[in-house]
Amino acid sequence: MAKIRIYKVAEQLGMPTHEVMDILKALGSDVKNHMSSIDEEYIELLQEEREYRKKEEEKNRKRKERTIQLKESPHLKDIARLLDMHWEDIVIKLADWNVIFDSKKPLPPLVVERLAREKNWEIIWEDSLREKTIEALQGGLGIRPPIVTVLGHVDHGKTTLLDAIRRSKVAQSEYGGITQKIGAYQIEVSNKKITFVDTPGHEAFTAMRARGAQVTDIAILVVAADDGVMPQTIEALQHAKAADVSIIVAINKIDKSGANPDRIKQQLSDYGLVPEEWGGDTIFVNISALQKKGINDLLEMILLQAELLELKARHQGYATGTIIESRLDRGKGPVATVIVKEGTLKIGDFFVAGATWGKVRSLFSVNGKKVKEAIPSMPVEIVGFSELPPAGTQYMVIEDEKIARLIANQKQLKEREKSLKGSSAQITSLEELLSPEEGKKRELNIILKADFQGSLDAIEKVLSQIGSEEVSIKVLSKGVGNINEADVVLAAASNGIVIGFDVKLPSEVSKNAKREGVDVRLYRIIYDVIDDLQNAIKGMATPKQYQESIGKAEVRAVFKIPKTGVISGSYVTSGKIERNAFVRVIRKGEILEESAKIVSLKRFKEDVKEVSMGYECGIGLDRFEDFEEGDILEAYIIREE
């Protein structure tokens, strides 16, 4: 193999000889000086290394040009100037991130870094400024009361429990009587406060979370000792787990004959709630809400759990929080119940809540008395909204009216644009959820419904074995029966999808899912479920199929025609009936046939492609002939996205 002197290599590559020697030494060569000889095969390797070093130098140069060194955390207008941005644009961004800002105070380091990163700048902090600033911000945190929601099966005693807590504890506190209009209230136990959110059920609890409102710290799951774990109990449990909140089980009605608390514990252990006395970490309390027994024990357990959670919040500065409910009062105008998350809410504060804004004209406590301020975890009524905000909306105090108006106007524009696009929710589909994201493992949340428990167990077992290094699958909720509103609400709240195996998707639920942007997939063959998810994980997701209702017809007469079969003489009551459609046959509210295809559609004796509302027609189906007068034929077509 031919040899060549180093200085000749340097001339050939247009590189300084010392750089050639540095690269060779880095590659393990024992060259002595520029007169040393090397094999010709090194030349290509040297050239590649030289190109790589040039690229790295260019990257470092560009990185240095896009670097900002800071001696202190900047104020809002300072960072706007450094990043060449309008301060109003930064204000809107901070509001979108639910970041409290004060033009007179420095911004938190993480916020400064995120703003810079969006503009392709890198922040370098001098010494340990970043850590010191973060420590200073955390130093203002103080203990706050726990926020509790009561969930469970209907008739298991949720309302009775809340009433028992109100009557036994509110009278002992400074608040006096209670008003139920406020939707939340505080009690005092052993000189410590607990806030209860008065939601109507787990669907409302999750609907608020779907709007970004993670209010609850602890969920009380009420189960009747004489009835046991019921379908709504399981749904409530799954919703609480999806929200990642602590769960305390209140076994109610222990005074009734047939009460069996141990059976409840055994049933809930199957769902991952193992009692502490059995070696688990779930608190179980026996109570009788009607007889007011065990109420104090339950409240003490709530306080104990709150201590373990170490609930803290910033008590000083501008307030943030969540709208629990809102109403229109004849004398006060738009009024909303809020729970303060951080800071102190005061009369005279300007605030933004979603696309509306306002000024706090009055604050009312839970008993309707005027108060001057509200601290973290405290529920109060605010008077002063420009419009009614929906429940679950986040609110934040802004330093002046001009900025509050600006943010609200921008959010109104965004909502208008979103509605024009036809979707109010930013919920991803299966394909979007499983799209690759570099360096991050993604989790696909699934709400699973099946026709029988055996099918449900089989599909869940298979799903637990599907996954990849980039994507893991988690079954958030499972149940037997048709897909319902609660499934859609949970999917919207958790960025999940609904998978139904041999079950029905009612038209109203389908419309709601489409409106919320929730991906619902229906299957009849278990292997299709597996193949679809496996292909999606590999980046080959099949098109999503969904049913689109197109019209309804009522059977007015039944005809038996030789060689043709049974034909229903029908009257189209809404929409239209198409020849290529499928039909759902409904009799007295019960579905007799789910997916019979139309094989014959006639007007008088003529074959037609479709029949519109207000006209009569003859309809023949491929798998159904048992028509009766009064049957409803609901036509739908299968579409793909």
Known binding-site residues equal: 152-159, 198-202, 252-255
Residue indicated by tokens 């002939």: 625
The number of residues making up the chain comes to 641
> CA end-to-end span of the chain, whole Å?
62
Coil, strand or helix: which one is 81?
helix
Strands (DSSP E) contained in 435-526 are 442-450, 471-480, 497-501, 520-523
Known binding-site residue numbers for GTP: 152-159, 198-202, 252-255
335-351: buried (b, 16+ CB within 10 Å) or exposed (e) per residue? bbbbbbbbbbbebebbb
Tell me the C-alpha to C-alpha distance, in Å, between residue 426 and each of 98, 324, 389, 507: 17, 22, 19, 22
8 Å CB contact between 380 and 338: yes
Coil, strand or helix: which one is 136?
helix
Q: Residues 6 or more apart from 68 whose CB is under 8 A from it? A: 82, 116, 121, 122, 123, 124
8 Å CB contact between 219 and 240: yes
Q: Where are the alpha helices (DSSP H) in 3-41?
A: 6-13, 17-26
DSSP notation for 106-121:
PPPHHHHHHHHHHTT-
Number of Cβ within 10 Å of residue 432's Cβ equals: 11
8 Å CB contact between 316 and 308: no
**How many whole angstroms separate alpha carbon 346 and alpha carbon 359?**
10
8 Å CB contact between 172 and 138: no
**Sign, CA torsion 121/127/128/129:** negative
**Sign, CA torsion 376/381/382/387:** positive
Tell me the C-alpha to C-alpha distance, in Å, between residue 619 and each of 547, 598, 613: 20, 7, 14
The rounded Cα 280 to chain-centroid distance in angstroms is 28
8 Å CB contact between 168 and 189: no
DSSP notation for 285-323:
EE-BTTTTBSHHHHHHHHHHHHHHHT-EEE-SSS-EEEE
Count Cα atoms within 13 angstroms, Cβ side, for 82.
21
8 Å CB contact between 187 and 193: yes
Residue 630 structure tokens: 């009064």
Residue 468 DSSP symbol: -
Beta strands 471-480 and 442-450 are parallel
Side chain identity at residue 346, one-letter code: K
Count Cα atoms within 13 angstroms, Cβ side, for 83.
24
The rounded Cα 462 to chain-centroid distance in angstroms is 25
Residue indicated by tokens 């639910």: 98
Number of Cβ within 10 Å of residue 4's Cβ equals: 14
